[in-house]
Structure 1
């Protein structure tokens, strides 16, 4: 990947490879499950909800690009992988494989170019936007063609390519001499003025999880208004995958305005008979739970939570890797079986939903998405809190827990509930 016209592109292009290879591989229900800069740190394929599927796609791109086979090899691998996992996806095989391949390779290239240009910024302090699409040009992108701005101009923070699906625009660095030659041809004595950024409202995540309204610069597809290379070099300046609180603590900064944790909710009063009798068999308890969500012991169901995310509800939620119900493994876990109805209530009508990315140290440090559903209960005069946690494992959603605790004062109850909050708040009742 060199260009004799622009000397800085002749630097070793290991940067693009490093950018792609450092990404953590994350299963997601939709491309917008993570947002903008987070894509510089994570590899996702919209709708690829299992680790094994995501890993196969990731490895196929690495092999096709850096072993020489290119897109045609990945296109065949894409179809083989989809068939292997029984994966259904939107669009034709050719269109979907092209989008996945081109987006990942192009963004890796752009991130690598950014690092190269930053390394020679003292010699080449100006950047030029290069619109390369001829067959299907985007009018906004075409209007930015030949725009020359200082490398430190904030406009590049949101308009550094890629600026949309299939966008092939690039940025080239210029020396002072090269920049002046171009200015003179345009009748200018200095750099161009940064184009005004007009924001527009868009709805994202309609076909995945967490549908929401966002503001994006006009001319840029939702999710692309960021600089991939800058996000890669400055990982602690973007909303972190493991939650705002962890990174802000590391940086020694307070919660930014607008992200202060809300006050804990007032507990919901529930009658004591909602708890199951102590002698209830696990199979009976799980069957009752599943029926609430339209599922059975033989066939699962799908449940869309208050944040718009869909969960597969099956008996596997309560089983360990051997297929045994988790309550059978210890007396402590068996005590929680009686709270299974509170677990269902928490899922259906949570007070809050939090997302947090964590490392699974029992599985080679693989990253997992935990969705934490919180709801406060008051049971027969005692302030107790029910918490349910669902974790995305290698083959889908697994893991659950529900527990209660007595706290003697309102202050302690609020403190306890606040400790259960972890990651990013995506829903509040």
Structure 2
């Protein structure tokens, strides 16, 4: 893979994007559905927590500080030696894939954020597909050079670059006058082409995906849209928010697929509900008391990998209503020994933005043949919400037991 130059990096949008990624282990790059890569940092074959975390830190230096691939390779060698990692491929190829792919995507996603700023769109509503115009450009990508379409043309959903590993194509934003001047000088295509599709079978899931010709497997989504969401008119967003089922789950496996019990078991507890908080400040004080400080990280070992979740009193307190506050006393018991943890990748049905949420499930025996079922939900590794429900029907929360089962009570 050729080295890529990033003269405009670092810039804040690319840094913000890369920092929001969640470190997730994977045996292969296709373990996660296309859009999930917008939120997850994965390196095929890197399943140890510390190994993956160290690789992430080194790539972040490239995005944030502009370090070169040569520097990355030096540190890569040290990491490999430290963990005894037997990776596939030769050193230069593998480091190129890891470093250049992440840098290219961070740059493209950062540019998407800049170009979809409302003020920028008002002045420059047209996008132009551009290649590097050399002998390493893919033939199909070369055919897309100088396609000029409005930013909201559906063609960009499947063709916003990069479109494959090693793709160096970019998008240039233009004003209406820019487009007219360009037409006077060059051959410009202003209608979306129909290049056909091909079918690809995901070797991990077995699912058959229809992909536009010229787009690599796993790249058939708009990276910027998945990271930030596409721009919407305020009226359209309000109409969407009033509807139901606003998030589509990208992973539909459930407890049955993993051979888990249909009924969530109940754990004995001597804890009883606390007081109802009078305001947000009191809710945050209760959280700080039960977790022993402003913030606490909970760890869940799963083989070579350890998942983590952060409880921050300020963040969680803002999302909780007062009627939930009496049950905060159960938080340590539930988080220190959960029954299951599910990773759910969800796509916003209006904007296309993708979120990775973890749902932590626990059941408590409260006597009299009833149980209390608790679901904690995290977004980008931070707890953002939770639900506690008194239930005699212990199957009530089974619809939350969906996605990728990443931890289970032994």
What is the TM-score when the length of structure 2 is the normalising length?
Answer: 0.57
User: 1:210 Cα shift?
Assistant: 3.3
Aligned runs of 1:9-408 on 2, under 5 Å? Answer: 13-119=11-117, 120-132=120-132, 134-185=134-185, 192-205=190-203, 209-234=204-229, 252-253=244-245, 356-357=343-344
Q: Which residue of 2 aligns with 1:378?
A: none
Can you list the C-alpha shifts for 1:261-285, whole angstroms capped at 9, x where unaligned?
99989x9xxxxxxxxxxxxxxxxxx
| CA 182–420 in structure 1, closer or farther in 2 if over 3 Å, else same | closer
User: 1:165 Cα shift?
Assistant: 0.5
- Cα distance between partner residues in 2 of 1:61 and 1:16: 12
- Cα distance between partner residues in 1 of 2:196 and 2:19: 35
Q: Is the 8 A contact 2:38 2:226 kept in 1?
A: yes
| CA 216–151 in structure 1, closer or farther in 2 if over 3 Å, else same | same
- Cα distance between partner residues in 2 of 1:59 and 1:219: 32
The farther-off stretch of 143-152 and 57-66 is 57-66
Match of 1:416 among 385, 395, 410: 395
Q: Is the 8 A contact 1:264 1:418 kept in 2?
A: no
Q: Point out the structure with the larger strand share.
A: 2
- Cα distance between partner residues in 1 of 2:19 and 2:255: 41
Q: Secondary structure at the match of 1:135?
A: coil
Q: Is the 8 A contact 1:198 1:217 kept in 2?
A: yes
- Cα distance between partner residues in 1 of 2:252 and 2:202: 24
User: 1:109 Cα shift?
Assistant: 0.3
- Cα distance between partner residues in 1 of 2:101 and 2:253: 35
Please identify the structure whose Cα radius of gyration is greater. Answer: 1
Structure 2 unaligned residues grouped into runs of 5+: 233-239, 260-301, 306-340, 346-355, 362-391, 406-410
User: 1:74 Cα shift?
Assistant: 0.7
What is the TM-score when the length of structure 1 is the normalising length?
Answer: 0.55
User: 1:183 Cα shift?
Assistant: 2.4
| CA 210–419 in structure 1, closer or farther in 2 if over 3 Å, else same | same
- Cα distance between partner residues in 1 of 2:242 and 2:31: 24
Can you list the C-alpha shifts for 1:28-72, whole angstroms capped at 9, x where unaligned?
112112222221111111111121111000001122443343100
| CA 55–115 in structure 1, closer or farther in 2 if over 3 Å, else same | same
Q: Is the 8 A contact 1:133 1:169 kept in 2?
A: no
Q: Secondary structure at the match of 2:116?
A: helix
- Cα distance between partner residues in 1 of 2:343 and 2:194: 35
Count of matched residue pairs: 278
